[in-house]
Chain A
Amino acid sequence: EISAPWTFHNLQELRHSASLANKVFLQRDYSDGTTCRFQTKFPSELESRIERPLFEDTVKRLNIYYAEAEKMGGQSYLEGCLACATAYLIFLCMETRYEKVLKKIGRYIQEQNEKIYAPRGLLITDPIERGMRVIEISIYEDRGSSGSCSGSSSTSGSSAR
């Protein structure tokens, strides 16, 4: 029971006890055309912060989600034709598949932040807030004031829960 509040406090404590040290930007990977993909190259600034497999896992999963959003298959064609037939009014009541997937991505990023990145003093910004150009990862440095920070650092070793 003790670990949960510390994890919970982690994200909060990150705000008022940590300061922004650096930002790393993962650029887009255009080798597949104009579809949305991000480079999975592991930035050197994160080497001391997070384990490489965890990081690459996150980015790969994001790429999978974006590919799903932009996938052109039966469902997206159906949606497109239906939308055209209803003069796009149907989107007043329902959201496009792309938007649904973007929401899923937002939730995933939040979950990753809570579980993996915040305990390591990192935060991922949803690419949609950066115009889908980059994945911005902020690196925080702990100012080490409050006692809960020492608690958070003790649980920083634990990864996903």
Chain B
Amino acid sequence: MLQLGVAEPMRECEYSQISTRSSTPMETPYKKRTPKKRKWQAFPGRNKFYCNGRIMMARQTGVFYLTLVLILITSGLFFTFDCPFLSVQLTPAIPVIGGVLFVFVLGTLFRTSFSDPGVLPRATPDEAADLERQIDVANGSSSGYRPPPRTKEVVINGQTVKLKYCFTCKIFRPPRASHCSLCDNCVERFDHHCPWVGNCVGKRNYRFFYMFILSLSFLTIFIFAFVITHVILRSHRQGFLNTLKDTPASVLEVVVCFFSVWSIVGLSGFHTYLISSNQTTNEDIKGSWSSKRGKDNYNPYSHGNIFTNCCAALCGPLPPSLIDRRGFVQSDTPQPTPPTNGITMYGSTQSQSHMCVQDQCIQSTKFVLQAAATPLMQSEPVILTDEASLPGRTSLGGPCSGALPLGGQPTPPTSTPNLSCDNGMLPTRNDHSEAHHHMDGVHHHFLTPEEAPSPPGMLPCGSPLGHSHTIQGFYNPASQDSLHEDSVRGLVKLSSV
């Protein structure tokens, strides 16, 4: 039966064996007790999710709807009132080109607004504890009072870059990442928070944002030019006042386009400059790489020439989302940082998934595991003790196996635009700040201030995990329940899309 060679079919066999051994009735009560929750429902940032996690936006989306309405109404008026005349008088290519531009604008807008900008998931409790330990060792300070802001220096391409520690996410931010205070997330290659698209602009959606403003510039100029043409042509025949009576919508279009053109075309130009020099809005406004700071100050991320920078920004590889919005949460114990120990996205590997389950079991029930000192490699005995209150492991199965996740997803959640939703977008009447409405077309960049440090200290459940403590003499039997979960997980391959 057990043959060498292919391990996978053996694993299949083994899992089916284990499942028959496991008492299935034991799982269903736990299953019924706690419903499966998707990760987006437990997301710690201030984001809104729609379509069961497929769409991700910032909390305040009022201005986004304004943008959408402006575009739809102006374009709608153009197609209804101006295009019939123009297609007859000039060429039918005008509505076609206009249509293509319009579709492109909407597509890129939706892609920018609905996708994950490159949010960095928060550190797991273990990671945070490990980092804190390292920092404490480096600082030589004892925990108890808030230590000074933590930075790490790294040399990139000859430039010294400071990596800051994010107190909210409990990570050292990668270079070019920044914490958006509006969304309460660290975002990779953070450009700015754009209220007009209702989302942050970061590594994953910067190219869509750029294409949106670029195509919107073209659309605006296009509509503006052809509405003017329309009015002029008509005025030649009927006179100006008659024209205005016939097509009053044209006036509205001209007004909207006139005021938009300056800001949007200006913005496109600005971002073209940023792309060609490979900077983010954040860096440019802070003057991080300007020569004014010092003679030797230069941008270490630039590839050297404009063409390569543009290609890299617009056609480079698109990294997948790191937050796995539609995955299932494993543990249903509320934690300050969300459980990022989740199912893998790319075909679960049983070892990791089971280990994650075990981690959650250990963490969530705070069980004392007292193992006999029989190390596998005959090193000095190192034992895990965890905070615990439960005497036996049989009761461990309860909270853990409740959240029985399904296996890996066939495709990562955010790489597809997925513009079609079952129930459409759910508009929310948010309490969007009035300040947004006062923006008269000037693009308002939300720069993130330095994150105010939250109170330090370990997370309540995470701290003792992973630290070796005193040796105990007890021995506890293995958990049957985590095995059952693993076997069920192994059986259930794909989650629902």
Q: Could you tell me which A residues sit within 8 Å of B by CB distance?
A: 1, 3-5, 8, 11-12, 14-23, 25, 27-28, 30-34, 48-49, 69-72, 76-77, 79-81, 83-84, 87-89, 91-92, 95-99, 102-103, 106-107, 109-110, 113-114, 118, 120-121, 123-126, 128-134, 136, 138-145, 152-153, 156
Q: How many A-B pairs with Cβ below 8 Å?
A: 239
Residues of A within 8 A of B467 (CB): 22
Given contacts A33-B301, A89-B417, whether A70 and B317 have CB atoms under 8 Å apart is yes
Instruction: Give the nearest-CB partner of B18 in chain A.
Output: A12
Segment at the A interface, from B44-52, B139-147, B356-364, B449-457: B356-364
Instruction: Give the nearest-CB partner of B300 in chain A.
Output: A33
Structural contact, B123 and A20, CB atoms closer than 8 A: no
Min C-beta distance of A95 to chain B, whole Å? 6
How far, in angstroms, from A84 to B111 measured CA to CA in the complex?
12
Min C-beta distance of A50 to chain B, whole Å? 8
Q: What 0/1 readout, one digit per residue, does chain B (366-391) give for beta carbons within 8 Å of chain A?
A: 00010111111101111110000000
How far, in angstroms, from A70 to B320 measured CA to CA in the complex?
11
Specify which of A30, A97, A114, A118 is in contact with B156 (CB 8 Å cutoff).
A30
Residues of B within 8 A of A18 (CB): 376
Structural contact, B375 and A20, CB atoms closer than 8 A: no
Structural contact, A131 and B374, CB atoms closer than 8 A: no
Q: Which 6 A-B pairs have the closest CB atoms?
A: A144-B374, A80-B315, A16-B478, A4-B4, A131-B121, A110-B349
Structural contact, B2 and A5, CB atoms closer than 8 A: yes
Residues of B within 8 A of A83 (CB): 318
Known: A34-B188, A72-B312. 17 other contacts (CB 8 A): A8-B14, A21-B384, A30-B175, A31-B154, A33-B300, A34-B174, A84-B314, A89-B417, A98-B318, A99-B412, A120-B376, A124-B352, A130-B340, A141-B376, A142-B376, A143-B478, A156-B377
Given contacts A95-B411, A133-B127, whether A144 and B322 have CB atoms under 8 Å apart is no
Residues of A within 8 A of B117 (CB): none
How far, in angstroms, from A17 to B411 measured CA to CA in the complex?
34
Min C-beta distance of B117 to chain A, whole Å? 14
Structural contact, B382 and A22, CB atoms closer than 8 A: yes
Residues of B within 8 A of A20 (CB): 355, 358-359, 362, 369, 384, 465-466
Residues of B within 8 A of A34 (CB): 174-176, 188-189, 301
Given contacts A5-B2, A141-B376, whether A16 and B384 have CB atoms under 8 Å apart is no
How far, in angstroms, from A39 to B479 measured CA to CA in the complex?
35
How far, in angstroms, from A40 to B349 measured CA to CA in the complex?
23
Specify which of A88, A106, A138, A156 is in contact with B417 (CB 8 Å cutoff).
A88
Given contacts A16-B478, A131-B322, whether A77 and B311 have CB atoms under 8 Å apart is yes
> Quick check: is B459 within 8 A (CB to CB) of the other chain?
no
Residues of B within 8 A of A70 (CB): 317, 319
> Quick check: is B124 within 8 A (CB to CB) of the other chain?
yes
Structural contact, A114 and B3, CB atoms closer than 8 A: no
Structural contact, A129 and B342, CB atoms closer than 8 A: yes
Query: In this complex, which of B120, B316, B351 has the most chain A Cβ atoms within 10 angstroms of its Cβ?
Result: B351
> Quick check: is B7 within 8 A (CB to CB) of the other chain?
yes
Structural contact, B352 and A129, CB atoms closer than 8 A: yes
> Quick check: is B248 within 8 A (CB to CB) of the other chain?
no
Given contacts A23-B126, A48-B377, A72-B311, whether A131 and B383 have CB atoms under 8 Å apart is no
Q: What 0/1 readout, one digit per residue, does chain B (337-358) give for beta carbons within 8 Å of chain A?
A: 0001110111101111011101
Min C-beta distance of A58 to chain B, whole Å? 14
Min C-beta distance of B364 to chain A, whole Å? 14
Min C-beta distance of A123 to chain B, whole Å? 5
Structural contact, B347 and A106, CB atoms closer than 8 A: yes
Structural contact, B482 and A129, CB atoms closer than 8 A: no
Structural contact, A143 and B482, CB atoms closer than 8 A: no
Structural contact, A30 and B346, CB atoms closer than 8 A: no
Min C-beta distance of A67 to chain B, whole Å? 11
Structural contact, A129 and B468, CB atoms closer than 8 A: no
> Quick check: is B221 within 8 A (CB to CB) of the other chain?
no
How far, in angstroms, from A99 to B412 measured CA to CA in the complex?
8
Structural contact, B322 and A141, CB atoms closer than 8 A: no
How far, in angstroms, from A129 to B239 measured CA to CA in the complex?
68
Given contacts A16-B479, A98-B320, whether A110 and B351 have CB atoms under 8 Å apart is yes
Given contacts A17-B478, A21-B382, A33-B300, whether A143 and B318 have CB atoms under 8 Å apart is no
> Quick check: is B10 within 8 A (CB to CB) of the other chain?
yes
